[in-house]
Amino acid sequence: MKIRAAIFDVYGTLLEVSAPPKNADVLWAKLFENMLGTPATLSRMEFSRLSSHVIARCHTEAKARGIPWPEINWPGVVMEVIPALARLPARKREDFILRQMQIGRTLQLADHAADCLHRLNENGVILGIASNSQAYTLREVTEALRGTGLNLSIFDPDLCFWSFENGFSKPDPHVSRILTARLEARGIKPAETLMVGDRLDNDIEPARAFGWQAWQITRAAGRAAGAGNWRDLLAWLKSNR
Give me the pLDDT at residue 165, please. Answer: 97
Calpha distance 154→65 (Å, rounded): 36
Instruction: Output Rg (C-alpha) for the chain, integer angstroms.
Output: 19
Are β-strands 126-131 and 155-162 bridged in parallel, bridged antiparallel, or unpaired? parallel
Query: Does 1 score more than 90 pLDDT?
Result: no
| AA letter at 172 | D
pLDDT tens by residue, 98-126? 999 999 999 999 999 999 999 999 999 99
Calpha distance 66→210 (Å, rounded): 22
Q: Could you write out the DSSP letters of every residue in 87-114?
A: GS-HHHHHHHHHHHHHHH-EEEEPTTHH
Q: How confident is the model at residue 219 (pLDDT cuts 50, 70, 90)?
A: confident
Calpha distance 213→167 (Å, rounded): 26
> pTM value?
0.95
| Topology (CATH) of 5-18+107-239 | Rossmann fold (3.40.50)
Question: Please, what is the average pLDDT of the chain?
Answer: 95
| pLDDT-above-90 percentage for the chain | 94
Give me the pLDDT at residue 13, please. Answer: 98
Give me the pLDDT at residue 76, please. Answer: 96
Query: Does 223 score more than 90 pLDDT?
Result: no
Domain parsing of the chain, residue ranges: 5-18+107-239, 24-104
What pairs with residue 25 in β-bridges?
none
Give me the pLDDT at residue 11, please. Answer: 98
Average the pLDDT over 33-54 and give the result: 96
